[in-house]
Chain A
């Protein structure tokens, strides 16, 4: 119980800090944290699959990237798309792709599931890379940020980086709340049951395939939301966004933070992005531009994290809090 209260306090504290950030920070940091919050949404969507349902998907970037492309298509030439139309459209597109891919990949499990998710994401990559649908390997631009107009009235403007920041912050909170609600619902209990013992769930009468599919689609749609704003912020989409470096990266975020906790996904997203930034900024040492080859250090970090942090950063935190607690109190953990 006490642990839950601590977590709640920490969460609210972080929320407060995020809400106050634009008052004290410069544009660069506001945009940086916007990006981190977008990745946090992306990571949470994957945690639903990996951490809670036990479906290790290596192709989650397909849904993230597709939404960006939908945005690029939805925008008339050189003009801005309407947020209220294009965002649902992008999420629906990602959800639909997740439905199609899900029907195919959920016929497998274990290692094969991992392989086929990767393969299908690669197929989507090729679709955009090899064809002239959307600029091929060169990608296409999102020239203007989506416009939030309803019958002429604009409550905010995404061209304003502070507005953009708050829109993403609100969505982060909404997605978090939505997922918490989902996980506490009947559906959520089935999902977790499937992760723990799918065969038993079936013998209890649950049509597990359906629940996994719905979960896959929800996760895909939420990844689409993140991808939409990532494309809107960056102003550019290319096939690499669908690639497996993106898929691998977001998976790492979920694990680094601590899977199956949602909080871990957010923590992991922030941590990975800060780490990436830090590594990229490293200087040239002995004639070798370390910053340019930051992925070498990132790879090394990933290897160490897997070996030394079996429960991610949150697991480390839990371990620390258990060690710090006095023996007398250990009983009410």
Chain B
């Protein structure tokens, strides 16, 4: 592999990792602050992508589609939290798992009814269609760089929101002690609703910006969800830093294991088993440090 190809793969890996972080951060936000495990988180990613597809066709512009899509996603998130998720706070994780599993089925079938089961492509917006040339034959798409930049910007924005603003402080307090925050006069129900909607919006937005690159297909939500789980497990319990590191690591591993070839004793391991690599990574982490790379021990 020459230097330019290597560079391209590294950039791709980082871009995928940052996208994963965006989705995973929505998941850990809801998990860490509200204590809810939301299996349907991947479905929102899918919803975002399909919204990008259909709205961009409708509006003729991916930008308008994204704007409209975020609004719709937030609305869906608020509605879901109000109707269903709010009833899960005091219940066992088991029931959260089941209810959100039911939601996955609903979302999948709704998508099938409304959009069908085909794979779709979404065009890259004209503004970002350029490529940065690396050699005579190789170039790197500006859109992917833009994606990485946006994910990074959102990550920083979220960090500032949670750590530096009053709203962020209320959110963190609500995570630690729900009743106390309520008795202070803060509307904890509304707070949780906002947090949930934020998490949904992050996932949907990630799906939207990923659509031109990763295409829009039925299983995309479930696929990203499981990878997010791996990110959270590897990164560690309650650690945003860990999630970022884990996401980048997984992004790189997942990108490289598809392009490298590796065999032992005549048995082709890569790229055949590329789909398994991130799970092998997770297994190694579980053996060495079950609480994750940056998780708190015991």
Contacts and interface: CB of A to CB of B under 8 A. Distances in A.
Same complex origin of A and B = yes
Interface of A: 50, 56, 58, 104-105, 107-108, 110-112, 114-116, 118-120, 122-123, 126-127, 129-132, 244, 248, 251-252, 255, 259, 288, 293, 295-296, 298-303, 305-307, 310
B189 interface: no
Given A118-B226, A119-B229, A122-B279, A303 B103 contact: yes
A159 to B, nearest CB: 35
B89 interface: no
Contact of A295 (B37, B105, B222, B272): B105
Contacts of A112: 232-233, 237
Contact of A56 (B94, B99, B105, B237): B94
Contact of A248 (B94, B101, B275): B101
Give the top 9 A-B pairs by smallest Cβ distance, nearest first: A299-B105, A302-B102, A296-B109, A123-B279, A107-B290, A299-B106, A126-B275, A115-B229, A303-B102
Nearest to A293: B109
Contacts of A244: 222, 226
A309 B87 CA distance: 13
22 contacts: A56-B97, A104-B286, A107-B290, A108-B290, A111-B37, A112-B232, A115-B233, A119-B230, A119-B233, A127-B276, A131-B272, A244-B222, A259-B94, A293-B109, A295-B108, A299-B106, A300-B106, A302-B102, A303-B102, A307-B84, A307-B87, A310-B95
A119 B222 contact: no
A110 B105 contact: no
Contacts, number: 123
Chief secondary structure at chain B's binding surface: helix
Contacts of A115: 37, 229, 232-233
Tell which of B31, B91, B105, B274 has the most Cβ of chain A within 10 Å.
B105
Interface in B242-298: 272-276, 279-280, 282-283, 286-287, 290
Nearest to B222: A244
Nearest to B102: A302
Given A299-B104, A302-B99, 7 more contacts: A50-B94, A105-B286, A119-B282, A296-B110, A299-B109, A301-B102, A307-B84
Contact of A252 (B101, B107, B272): B101
Contact of A296 (B97, B105, B237): B105
Contacts of B280: 123
B112 interface: yes
A130 B276 CA distance: 9
B113 interface: yes
Tell which of B37, B87, B274 has the most Cβ of chain A within 10 Å.
B37
B241 interface: no
A206 to B, nearest CB: 18
Interface in B68-118: 84, 87, 91, 93-95, 97-99, 101-110, 112-113
Contacts of A114: 37, 93, 97
B226 A302 contact: no
Contacts of A288: 113
A306 B99 contact: yes
B230 to A, nearest CB: 5
B275 A129 contact: yes
B95 to A, nearest CB: 5
Nearest to A255: B98
A236 B141 CA distance: 44
Given A115-B233, A126-B275, A296 B113 contact: yes
A300 B99 CA distance: 9
A112 B91 CA distance: 17
B225 to A, nearest CB: 9
A296 B106 contact: yes
A298 B280 CA distance: 34
A295 B290 contact: no
A116 B275 contact: no
A107 B113 CA distance: 41
B276 A123 contact: yes
A143 B233 CA distance: 41
B37 A107 contact: no
A130 B273 CA distance: 7
Contacts of B102: 298-303, 306
Nearest to B282: A119
A112 B229 CA distance: 8
Nearest to A252: B98
A307 B99 contact: yes
A50 B93 CA distance: 12
A302 B84 CA distance: 12
Given A114-B93, A248-B101, A303 B106 contact: yes
Nearest to A113: B93
Contacts of A129: 275
A120 to B, nearest CB: 6
Nearest to B113: A293
A325 B226 CA distance: 48
Given A114-B37, A122-B279, A306-B102, A251 B97 contact: yes
Contacts of B109: 293, 295-296, 299
